[in-house]
């Protein structure tokens, strides 16, 4: 947008605090290579457009805003002469992407001194070479520092995740090893029992009947019903009594295994009716080994399945085999992150998933959203642990107009009002030295706002803190991470 040209007065330009130390020749050059323009109420430039001009307000009222999702959020409103905005990084040239980092509009007729970006860069390099070097060092040094500490933040998170994943993998792996060793022992005893039975004076049809009973018993194990503790105890008592009445040794030890396998007194009556009384104890012992081997194989299957799920979750979390930018299901991302963090969350925190499964996939950088979920869940878990009492973490998804909401709610002590406005600032942390870099929420803000054109909100009171991430349901591919910057 352009305004109406008006005469440029070196004296008036020199009265602005930005130019008050310049010589008459320098002010003359500014007026000859720049211009003064009058803008009527309305927009001056838009965020994301090529940064072609540097604006210094002479008189009027200016409003700067930033795009958050589909909305423009006002960040500055002032009538102070001399405030500036626009192509403030032109002196860096093509080493950074030269676009406007905010939108500017005026609410009343307003005059600006307007300097083309190329001229602004040239006079900066020519008049203030030392200052330019210092600014360049500050700009790129700050970027490098943030990248380095951001990498450390990710490494800290990775270390925490790795420790949790190792713990989660170790449990089913150890269970599978134990079950395999026990299985080997039970199979050996079953072979021995079968040898004893087969060496006795039993007709072929009796042995065939035992094999048939064994097959049906194995099938029954896979269909065992879920019993309440009281139901299981009652069934164990009934089975123990039956086994004792039939002179089966160690009935008290066999009964719990049979109950776990879904066997009852009626089943044992069928077994007793199918075999001779003298071989019933041997048959029951043999069936006990059969049941134990089936249960152990189920345990091994459950353990290895758990390991497979954890590996799949790690693969989903890392997104190593996926395109960096793609349409993603946020529920898959949330589930993989929660599973990766399950060791850190612990048993004292109840995780409630309140998902709207009808929500569509969204265009996103999934690996980076997983980093956002990690940061927010980690903070929520730390807050609940700070209370010293069990708590609840609720993860909710919903549609809010044209955006997808992901909300993390915890029952921690809350964010104190006096620091609520600072929690997204770089390097701000309330954690003890060595336990946090203060970049977790800053990185999350940059990923959500700059890279996905979304927004993050926080609403906090003791016992109810909610971080709300809002993401566009449809969007063009983001163009990269541009740090927030307001000049006026």
Whole-number mean pLDDT of the chain?
Answer: 78
Query: pLDDT at residue 69 above 60?
Result: no
Per-residue pLDDT tens digits for 264-292? 888 888 888 877 777 788 778 878 888 88
- Range with the poorest average pLDDT among 3-12, 55-64, 245-254, 425-434: 425-434
Return the DSSP state at 367.
Answer: H
CA atoms of 458 and 50, how far apart (whole Å) = 32
Calculate the alpha carbon distances from 292 to 25, 244, 254, 267, 298 in Å: 97, 20, 10, 17, 10
At residue 475, the pLDDT reads: 63
Helix (H) or strand (E) holding 272: helix 265-274
pLDDT band at 121 (very low <50, low <70, confident <90, very high): confident
Burial zone of 134 (CB within 10 Å; 0-12 exposed, 13-18 middle, 19+ buried): exposed
Alpha helices by DSSP H, listed for 200-228, are 204-221
Per-residue pLDDT tens digits for 197-210? 667 666 677 667 77
8 A C-beta contact, residue 236 and residue 255: yes
At residue 131, the pLDDT reads: 57
pLDDT band at 395 (very low <50, low <70, confident <90, very high): very high
8 A C-beta contact, residue 372 and residue 469: yes
Per-residue pLDDT tens digits for 317-334? 655 555 678 888 999 899
The reply to whether the predicted model has a pTM over 0.75 is no
Query: pLDDT at residue 91 above 70?
Result: no
What percent of the chain stands above pLDDT 70?
Answer: 75
Architecture of domain 322-472: 2-Layer Sandwich (3.30)
Burial zone of 136 (CB within 10 Å; 0-12 exposed, 13-18 middle, 19+ buried): middle
pLDDT band at 191 (very low <50, low <70, confident <90, very high): confident
At residue 480, the pLDDT reads: 43
Q: Where are the domains of the chain?
A: 4-127, 166-307, 322-472
Query: pLDDT at residue 68 above 80?
Result: no
Which one has a higher pLDDT value, 181 or 473?
473
Query: pLDDT at residue 386 above 80?
Result: yes
Instruction: Say how far residue 288 (Cα) sits from the centre of its chain.
Output: 47
8 A C-beta contact, residue 379 and residue 388: no
8 A C-beta contact, residue 268 and residue 242: yes
What percent of the chain stands above pLDDT 90?
Answer: 14
Superfamily of domain 4-127: Jelly Rolls (2.60.120.10)
At residue 435, the pLDDT reads: 46
Per-residue pLDDT tens digits for 218-254? 777 777 777 888 888 988 899 899 988 888 888 888 8
């Amino acid at each position: 947008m352009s305004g109406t040209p008006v005469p440029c007065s070196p004296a008036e330009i020199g009265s602005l605090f930005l130019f008050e130390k310049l010589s008459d020749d320098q002010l003359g050059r500014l007026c000859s290579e720049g211009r003064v323009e009058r803008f009527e109420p309305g927009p001056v430039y838009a965020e994301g457009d090529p940064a072609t001009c540097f604006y210094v307000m002479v008189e009027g009222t200016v409003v700067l805003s930033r795009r958050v999702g589909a909305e423009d959020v006002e960040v500055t409103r002032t009538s102070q002469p001399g405030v500036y905005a626009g192509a403030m990084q032109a002196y860096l040239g093509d080493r950074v992407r030269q676009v406007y980092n905010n939108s500017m509009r005026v609410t009343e007729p307003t005059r600006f001194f307007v300097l083309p970006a190329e001229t602004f860069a040239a006079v900066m390099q020519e008049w203030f070479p030392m200052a330019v070097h210092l600014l360049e060092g500050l700009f790129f040094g700050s970027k490098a520092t943030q990248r380095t500490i951001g990498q450390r933040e990710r490494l800290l998170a990775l270390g925490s995740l790795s420790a949790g994943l190792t713990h989660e993998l170790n449990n089913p792996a150890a269970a599978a090893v134990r079950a395999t060793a026990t299985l080997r022992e039970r199979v050996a005893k079953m072979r021995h029992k079968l040898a004893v039975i087969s060496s006795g004076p039993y007709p072929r049809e009796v042995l065939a009947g035992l094999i048939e009973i064994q097959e049906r018993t194995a099938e029954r194990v896979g269909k065992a019903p879920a019993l309440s503790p009281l139901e299981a105890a009652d069934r164990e008592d009934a089975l123990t009594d039956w086994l004792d009445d039939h002179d089966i040794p160690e009935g008290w030890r066999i009964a719990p295994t049979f109950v776990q396998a879904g066997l009852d007194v009626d089943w044992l009556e069928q077994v007793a009716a199918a075999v001779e009384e003298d071989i019933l104890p041997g048959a029951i012992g043999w069936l006990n080994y059969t049941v134990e081997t089936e249960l152990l194989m189920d345990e091994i299957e459950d353990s290895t399945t758990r390991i497979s799920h954890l590996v799949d979750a790690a693969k989903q979390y890392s997104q190593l085999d996926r395109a960096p930018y793609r349409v993603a299901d946020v529920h898959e991302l949330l589930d993989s992150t929660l599973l990766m963090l399950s060791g850190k969350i612990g048993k004292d925190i109840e995780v409630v998933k309140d998902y709207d499964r009808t929500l569509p996939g969204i265009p996103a950088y999934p690996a980076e959203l997983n980093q956002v979920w990690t940061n927010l869940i980690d903070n929520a878990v730390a807050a609940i642990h700070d209370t010293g009492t069990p708590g609840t973490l609720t993860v909710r998804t919903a549609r809010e107009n044209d955006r997808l909401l992901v909300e993390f709610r915890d029952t921690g002590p809350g964010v104190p009002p006096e620091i609520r406005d600072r929690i997204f600032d770089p390097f701000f942390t309330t954690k003890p030295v060595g336990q946090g870099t203060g970049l977790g929420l800053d990185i999350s803000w940059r990923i959500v706002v700059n890279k996905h054109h979304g927004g993050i909100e926080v609403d906090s009171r003791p016992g109810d803190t909610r971080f709300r991430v809002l993401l566009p349901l449809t969007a063009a591919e983001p163009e990269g991470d541009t740090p927030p910057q307001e000049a006026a």
